[in-house]
A and B are shown apart, each in its own frame.
Chain A
Amino acid sequence: MKRLLKLLRPFTIHLIFSVILALGYVVCTLLLPVWSGKAVDTIVGKGNVDFDSLKQIAGFMIILIGGAMVCQWGMNLLNNKVCYGLVKTLRQQAFSKLTKIPISDIDSHSHGDYVSRIISDSDTIADGLLLGFSTIFTGVVTIIGTIIMMIRMNFIIALIVIVLTPVSIFMARAISKNTYKYFMTQSKDRADITEFISEMTEQGELVRSLDISEKVKEDFEEKNKTLTGSSLKATFISSLTNPSSRAVNSLIYIAVIVAGAYAVITGKMSVGELSAFLGYTREYSRPFNDITGVLTELSGAFACAERVFELIDMEDEPDGELTFDGKFEGNIKFEDVFFSYKKDQKLIENLDLDVNAGQKIAIVGPTGAGKTTMINLVMRFYDVTGGAIKIDGIDVKELKRHELRDKIGMVLQETWLFSGTIRENLLISNPGISEEEMINAAKAAHAHSFIKKLPKGYDTLLEEDGGALSQGQKQLLCIARLMIALPPMLILDEATSSIDTRTEMKIQDAFSTMMKGRTTFIVAHRLRTIMNADIILYMEGGRVLESGTHSQLLKKGGKYAALYRSQFL
C-alpha cells in the first residue's frame, strides 16, 4: 500500500486534479436532484406554473450537467493515465530486476510464476486501481454528500435510510464469504484442466502417433465436467450478491416513500422535496453496492501488488569493482574451490586448477560430475562457496560482471534463440558488425547454406525458441553467434552435440582457428572433439579424478581410458 503510494508520486499532479474533478463531479450530480426538485415545485398545477423560476432553474441545471460531464471525462482520462502509467512503471521495474537477479533465483524458481507476476498480476493491479480510483472516491463523496442533503431535507427519513443501508452490505458480505470456498474449488479444477490441456497440446504429434486421442478426449471430458460443476456453483452463489442487495434497497426505497408521504401529508416536506429525496435514496445506495464490489477487486489488486513488489525487492547479483584495465591475457586459476547448489549436498571440494592463457581445457565425465558447474563458476552465474577463481590474478568476485562476461563467449548444449529475425539473433553479441562479417561468420559456422535456403534468408523470422529449425541448425546459429562476438575466452559446453559428425568435422577447422590464442573450456561427450586439448580433466562427483593430455591419460589406463574405449569400440 505504502509502496504503491510511493510509486504514485510522479502522478501527484494528476491525482490532485483527479480528486478536484471528482469533487466537482459529485457536487454537480448531487445538486441536480435538488434543483430538479425545486423545478417540480414550480409546477404546482393547472395555470399555476412559475415559468420564470423554472427557466432560471433549468438554466442552472444545464450548467451543472455540463460541469458534471467535463469533470467526469477529465477524471476518467486522468485515472487512465495514472493506472496504466503506474503499471507500466511496475512492469518495467520488475523486468529490469529480472535481468539483474542471480541466476540461481531463476534456476530454482518456477518461470511461470515470474511471468504471471510481470504480466497478469500487473494487469490485475491496473484493473483494480482503475476501478478503485473511479469508484471509491466518488462513492465516498457521494455517500457523504447525500447524507448531508438528506439530513438537511428531513432528519428522520434520512435516519431511516442511513440505518437500513448497511443491511445490504452485511448481506453482500455474508454471501461473498460463502463464495470464497466455491471459488477455490473452481480455481483448483481450472488449474487441473489447464495443466492437462497444456501437456496434450504440446505433445500433439505424440498423441497422434501413439493413437491415444480417444483416451485423451475421455480424460478431457471428465475434467471438463468437474470444472463445469464447480464453476456453476461458484458463479451462481456469487451472483446472488447483486439481486440481494437490490432487494434490500427496494425495501429502503419503499420505507422512504411511506415516511415521505406521511411527511408531505403532515406538511413537513414538499412534493418536489420528496421526489428529490427518492432520487437521493437511489444515489445513496448505489455507491454502497459499487464499493463492496470494488473492495474485493482492490484487495486482489493489493495482493498482486505485493507479489510484484516481492520481485522488485529481490537482491541483485553482487557485483565487483575491478576491471582488467585493457590488459587481458586469460590465465585462470582455481584455488581450493568449494561449491554446492544445496547446502546439504556437497559437489565441488578442494578444486585446484591452473590454466595458462591460450590453453585448451577439456572437461569430461558422466552426467552430474560437475562439468557444467565449473562453467557456471567461471562465468560467475554462481559464486564459489569457498576458495577463489582468479583470472589474470584478479578474483572474479572483485571483477565487474560485465567486464568478466565481455571477455568470455559461450555456446551451450541448450540452444537459445529468441523470437526475431535470424539477423537479430546473430547480432545479439555485436550489433555493430558489418553484413559481410556476419555472413563470413555464418559461413565459418556452416550455417550460411541453410540460412540462405530459408524463405527470407537472414531476415527470416524465427518463432519462439527457433521454431521450425532442427536442433542441429539451432546449434549452428549459436556457433555463428559466438564467431561474431569473438571474445578472448571461449566456453563450449556440448556445443556440437546435436550436429552430425560430418558437419562437426567441418566446423572443427573454424573452431581451431578461433581457439588459437584464446583460453578455451570444452565440455564434450564425444571424445574425438577434445583429444588435442592441452589439459583434459576427468571429473566424477565434483572431483577431478584424472588430468593430463590425451596420450598421458590413455597411458595411465584409468577412467578416461575406459571411457575412450567404450566410445570407439
Chain B
Amino acid sequence: MKFIWKYLSEYKKEAILAPMFKMLEAFFELLVPLFVARIIDIGIPGKDLSYVLHTTIYLVIFAAAGYGVALLAQYFSAKAAIFSAASLRKDLFFHIQKFSDAKLDLVGSSSLLTRLTSDVNQVQNGVNMFLRLFLRSPFIVFGAAVCAFTVDVKGALVFAVALPLLILVVWLVMKSTLPRYKSIGKRLERLTLSVNENLTGVRVIRAFGNEHIQRRNFRKATDQLCNEQLCAGGIQSVLGPITLGVVNLSAVVILWIGGIRVNIGELSTGEVVALLNYMSQILVELLKLANLIILLTKALASSERIEKIMNIDPDERTKGEITDIKEILDKKEVPAVAAENLRFTYPDGNEETLSDISFTLEQGGVLGIIGGTGSGKSTIAKLIGHSYDITGGSVKLFGKEVSDFSDHAIAGSVALVPQHAQLFKGTIADNLRMSNEDATDDELWEALEAAQAADFVRQKPDGLNSKVERGGSNFSGGQRQRLTIARALVKKAPVVILDDSASALDMATEKALREALKNLSWKPALIIISQRASSVMAADNILVLEGGETVGYGPGDELLHSCPVYSEIYHTQFEEVAS
C-alpha cells in the first residue's frame, strides 16, 4: 500500500488534482438537493413559477460545471495511474535486471512475467479507480451527511449512526476477502501450469495412458477453485443487501423523526425531502463503492505480490570494484584462470557441489574439463563468470579474485558459451553484435568462420540480416550452437569457455571448430567442457571430475595411465574403432 504511494507521489500534481476535481464534481452534485428543497419550500407553496425557473438555472449551471470538472478529473486520474504504473513497471523490470542467477532461479521467469504484466495492470486499474472514486464516494457520503446536519442537526444524527456502521461492514468484508482473492490467484496459476504441462507432456501422458489421472487432478483443482470463489463471493454478496438495509432503514427513521419535528414546527416538509434525498445519494454512492472494493481488493493483492519481488535483495554476491581491466589483462606472467582449493555449495543446496578443485590455465592455453552428468563441470564455468560467490578457496582471473571484478569487467574478460544455445529475436547480425556493438561486418564473418557457421549463414538469402525467431527456434540445434559460439567470439575476450556447447555438432565439424579456436587472432585462453574425450584430449591439461571432486588433472596421455575414470571414458568412446 505504502509502496504504491511512493509511485503515485511522483505524479503528485495529477494525483492531487484528480480527486480535487472529483470532489468539486461531487460538491456540485451535493448542492442539487438544497436547491430542490428551496423549490419545494418556497417556489411551490408560493405558486411562484418564475422562482422555480430561476432556481433551475442554477441547477443547469451546476450540472455543466460538474461535467467540466469531471472530464478534467478523469484525465488527471488516468494520467496519474498510467504514468505511475509505467514507472512501477520500469522499476520492477530494472530491479529484475539486477537479479543474480540464483535469484532468477528462485523466483522463476513465469511468475516474473505475471508480476510485470497482469499484476502491474491490475494495480494501474486500481489506482485509476481509486483516484476517481475512493475520494469522491466518501466525499459525497460525508458531504451528504454534513449537508444533512446543516439542514437539521437532530434529524441528521441518523447519519452519524448509519455511516460508521456501513464503514465497519465494508472494512470487514474487505478484510475477510483479501486473503481469499490471493489464494484464488494462486490456484489459477496452478491451473495454468497444469494445462501447460498437459500440452508439453502430451506424448508421455498418452503413452502411459495417464489421461484419466490428469483429468481427475484437474477436476479436483477446479472444484477447489470454485469452492474458494463461492466462499469469497458469498462474503462479498452480503455487502449489497446490508448497505441497502442500513440506508433504507435510516430513511424510515428520518421520516419518523422528521414527522415529529415537523409536527412541533422545527422542520419543514421540504427539509425532510432534502434529508431523504441525501440518504438516497449516499445509497447510490455506496453501491458504487461496494463494486469498487472488489477491484481494489484485487489490485491490493497484486501490489503485494509486486512488492514481494521488489523486496528481494537482487544480488547477494560480493560487489567487485575493478572496472578497468586493461592494465590487468596486460600482465603477461600471471595465468589467465586459476583455481585453488575451490569449494562451492549452491545457495539452496545442502551438499557441496565442488570440493577442493585446483587448476591453472595459462594465457593462450587450453584447459579441458570432463566428467559425468552432475559432476560439477558447468558449475566451474559459472563460478569463473562469477554467477555465484564461491564458498571456499579461490578462483582468479589474471591474478585477481573474480569477486573483485565488477560484472561488467568480468563480461569483458570472459566469453561463456552456455550449454543451452539461445538466440534473441532479431537478425543474425543483431545477435552477434550483442556483446560488441561496434563490431564490423568483417569481424562478424571472422567469428562465424571460426564457429563453423559461415557456410549456412552465407546460404541464407539475407545473410547476416536473416531473421531470428525468439529463442532461435527457426534454426536447428547445431546451427544455434554455432551461432552462440560465434556471438561469444565477436567479443574477443581473453578467456573463452565452451560449456558443452558443441554437443549437437558432428565429429568432423567439431574438429574443425577446435582447430579454428586454436588459431584465433587474439589467442584467448580456452576452456572446453565436454562429455566427449575427443573434444578435450588435445588440451594442455584436462581436469577430470566425478561427483564434484577432482579425480584426475594433467595432460591427456598421462591421464590415460594415471586416471582410471578418464581412461574408462576414453575407451568407451574409442574402443569400438579399434575392434
* Beta-carbon nearest neighbor of B409 in chain A: A211
- Give the contacting residue for A88; candidates B66, B207, B225; CB below 8 A: B225
- Are A232 and B372 in contact, with the CB atoms below 8 A? no
- Are B245 and A65 in contact, with the CB atoms below 8 A? yes
A80 to B236, CA, bound (A): 10
- Are B373 and A46 in contact, with the CB atoms below 8 A? no
- Are A103 and B202 in contact, with the CB atoms below 8 A? yes
- Are B234 and A80 in contact, with the CB atoms below 8 A? yes
A201 to B93, CA, bound (A): 9
A212 to B44, CA, bound (A): 77
- Are B223 and A251 in contact, with the CB atoms below 8 A? no
B487 cross-chain contacts in A, Cβ below 8 A: 210
* Beta-carbon nearest neighbor of B63 in chain A: A250
Q: List 8 A-B contacts (CB under 8 A).
A: A91-B222, A199-B425, A211-B411, A231-B86, A265-B52, A379-B206, A409-B208, A500-B375
A431 to B209, CA, bound (A): 12
A203 within 8 A of B: yes
- Are A261 and B43 in contact, with the CB atoms below 8 A? yes
A268 to B96, CA, bound (A): 72
- Are B435 and A216 in contact, with the CB atoms below 8 A? no
CB distance from A72 to the nearest CB of B (A): 5
- Give the contacting residue for B206; candidates A70, A232, A279, A381; CB below 8 A: A381
- Are A111 and B435 in contact, with the CB atoms below 8 A? no
Q: Mark B405-440 against chain A: 1 for CB-CB distance below 8 A, else 0.
A: 001100110001011001011000000001101000
Within 8 A of B (CB), among A35-52: 36, 39-40, 42-49, 51
With known contacts A91-B222, A100-B211, A502–B568 Cβ distance under 8 A: yes
A512 within 8 A of B: no
B512 within 8 A of A: no
- Give the contacting residue for B44; candidates A271, A416, A464; CB below 8 A: A271
- State which size class the interface on B falls in: 35 or more
- Give the contacting residue for B59; candidates A123, A239, A257, A567; CB below 8 A: A257
* Beta-carbon nearest neighbor of A231 in chain B: B82
- Are B276 and A72 in contact, with the CB atoms below 8 A? no
CB distance from A458 to the nearest CB of B (A): 16
A193 to B139, CA, bound (A): 38
- Give the contacting residue for B199; candidates A80, A114, A274, A473; CB below 8 A: A114
Q: Mark B58-71 against chain A: 1 for CB-CB distance below 8 A, else 0.
A: 01101110110011
B77 cross-chain contacts in A, Cβ below 8 A: 239
Nearest 5 pairs of A and B residues by beta carbon:
A472-B373, A211-B411, A76-B237, A243-B70, A46-B265
With known contacts A76-B237, A111-B199, A261–B193 Cβ distance under 8 A: no
A231 to B241, CA, bound (A): 36
A114 to B448, CA, bound (A): 39
- Are B52 and A262 in contact, with the CB atoms below 8 A? yes
A12 within 8 A of B: no
With known contacts A62-B252, A429-B208, A227–B86 Cβ distance under 8 A: yes
- Are B422 and A206 in contact, with the CB atoms below 8 A? yes
A421 to B206, CA, bound (A): 20
A99 within 8 A of B: yes
CB distance from B560 to the nearest CB of A (A): 15
- Are B207 and A379 in contact, with the CB atoms below 8 A? yes
- Are B195 and A61 in contact, with the CB atoms below 8 A? no
A379 to B203, CA, bound (A): 9
B70 cross-chain contacts in A, Cβ below 8 A: 243, 246-247
- Are A69 and B276 in contact, with the CB atoms below 8 A? no
- Give the contacting residue for A503; candidates B124, B249, B372, B471; CB below 8 A: B372
B97 within 8 A of A: yes
B574 within 8 A of A: yes
- Are A95 and B83 in contact, with the CB atoms below 8 A? no
A210 to B422, CA, bound (A): 12
With known contacts A286-B284, A485-B208, A499-B373, A240–B96 Cβ distance under 8 A: no
- Give the contacting residue for B209; candidates A88, A239, A402, A416; CB below 8 A: A402
- Give the contacting residue for A254; candidates B63, B242, B264, B269; CB below 8 A: B63
- Are B222 and A88 in contact, with the CB atoms below 8 A? yes
A250 cross-chain contacts in B, Cβ below 8 A: 29, 32, 59, 62-63, 66
A29 to B373, CA, bound (A): 73
* Beta-carbon nearest neighbor of B477 in chain A: A367
B188 within 8 A of A: yes
A213 cross-chain contacts in B, Cβ below 8 A: 97
Besides the known contacts A224-B86, A257-B52, 18 further A-B residue pairs in the complex with CB atoms under 8 A apart: A43-B269, A72-B241, A73-B240, A77-B233, A77-B237, A98-B195, A118-B195, A194-B113, A197-B117, A201-B104, A204-B99, A227-B86, A254-B60, A405-B206, A416-B200, A428-B208, A501-B569, A528-B576
- Are B210 and A464 in contact, with the CB atoms below 8 A? no
